A and B are shown apart, each in its own frame.
Chain A
């Protein structure tokens, strides 16, 4: 997948930060959508199959309502699923530019799996709403959607998990990253628990609160059955119970996540952010309890919004771990970006073709490197320039060669380390110190 890396240049520090923000926002949207898609197709499929064996008119209606509400229009899948997965591909490829992890490849698979799942989900929706005669076909599309999503989630969780273990990057070289760590297992469980919690609250929110709730005559077998009281109660209980159950599971998993998080990704701040998430979950659990107890769906919107905020907090926490684990990667990239900037400057100055330009660049290099050990008029770690430069006055090439390849000359001083300059840079710095010496210290 090198073609993607070839399109990217070394990101600067600011650019990396921007990418981290993009990742937080986009993965919140993406994972919430994928979670709800998974949860709703899963439930819809269960209720569809229950409706075939049990005589309960709610089941088929619920299966259809879930499919029509959450799979939505074709643009929904494109905007919330396919495009975000591509944005994540680009952003992750940038923060992990030039590292040994096969990040673009993994995210390309994520993109492909997402696209396939969204397509399958629409085929499933169509077969449900058009009352496809062959029931096996409906099951097939539903099952394919779930398989696609599970593959996508597996790739996503193991990829983002692998990022936290930089020492394993060179060792995991499969098409899709497959490796075992308890942290990955916990992350899977967190994803599915959050997915069902948010699906439950989304059922309440979109069926009852959003825009006045579902139209009374929604897709039913008869086509005209009202969203009557019993059905409302059944759905509210289902959504609330589902959401409450998994909301209660989440704190345990969050604590377990901290027990298994790789040491390189650990920070103190992350604990406090997680506490904030737990407090939010406590409020949500209480609201859900009230909702179930009073069979009153008026808390639906607050629960859904609070749950999304909790997911945001958890995404931020994930990103804190990621930034911490990538400290070294980010510093390497920042150093590289500086190098690239210097190269561009050199080229620009040389295009101007004046001697002055070289001197300006030389001054910059002198101030960042040489000045640590050298002064013009006093001996520090190395000798004073005014003592050693005279011998080079008529032989600039020798001075440039010395800068490029220093040797120990005087036993009074420690050997000068090779500064790793490029020939052009060495020439620039030689020009600068000679110019300074001749104009000011001679």
Chain B
């Protein structure tokens, strides 16, 4: 009897672990993976190769709480003529012709119930580089979060730069 129970238990235990692992992988692949954008916008070409400054397109970073997704007109300034034969640019032109907004997927943000009030303007004025939170866009093909944007990250940077760490500074 024992001769059969132990190998069966071993097998069951490992099977359970493998199933758990695969379920976690499946969940990650379907729900937690960095999202795919409607257009594969290459930051490395625009910010890297062409050396466009961030604020060339994200115009509200130093003027508002939100950096803002560039208006399509900003894209069209150049892409009326530039690289119109590329498939991803043609997607852009199609949205433009159909007068539809591009359904970009949000990547950076806070949980609603965290009640965080983050202002881009304040941070830019204080001299924080865009790369501190967004990573080096000059080499990034596909945008994904490079920092976890949890409270520990914010607070350690606030401490290191002698910025206020009152709850009310960020939470409203």
Binding site for B on A (CB under 8 A): 166-167, 170-171, 248, 251-252, 254-255, 258-259, 262-264, 266, 268, 271-272, 274-275, 278-279, 281-282, 285-286, 289, 293, 328, 331-332, 334-335, 368-369, 372-373, 379-381, 414, 417-420
Contacts and interface: CB of A to CB of B under 8 A. Distances in A.
B50 interface: yes
A255 B29 contact: no
A267 to B, nearest CB: 9
A77 B70 CA distance: 60
| Binding site secondary structure of chain B | helix
Contacts of B156: 171
Given A264-B146, A328-B140, A331-B44, A248 B13 contact: yes
B113 interface: no
B21 A278 contact: yes
Contacts, number: 114
B151 to A, nearest CB: 13
Q: What does DSSP make chain A's interface, helix, strand, loop or mixed? A: helix
Nearest to B48: A335
Contacts of B80: 381
B49 A369 contact: yes
* Max count, chain A CB within 10 A of own CB: residue among B32, B45, B53, B146: B146
A217 B95 CA distance: 83
A286 B12 CA distance: 12
B21 A275 contact: yes
Contacts of A331: 44, 136, 139-140
Interface residues of B, number: 47
Contacts of A286: 7, 10
Contacts of A275: 18, 21-22
A118 to B, nearest CB: 35
Given A268-B28, A369-B50, A381-B78, 12 more contacts: A167-B146, A254-B17, A255-B17, A271-B25, A331-B139, A335-B48, A369-B51, A372-B49, A373-B78, A381-B81, A417-B53, A417-B56
Nearest to A282: B14
B33 interface: yes
Contacts of A252: 17
Contact of A332 (B28, B45, B139): B139
A351 to B, nearest CB: 28
A414 B24 CA distance: 48
B65 interface: no
8 contacts: A258-B24, A263-B32, A266-B32, A282-B14, A286-B7, A328-B135, A335-B138, A417-B53
Most chain A CB atoms below 10 A, which of B10, B77, B160:
B10
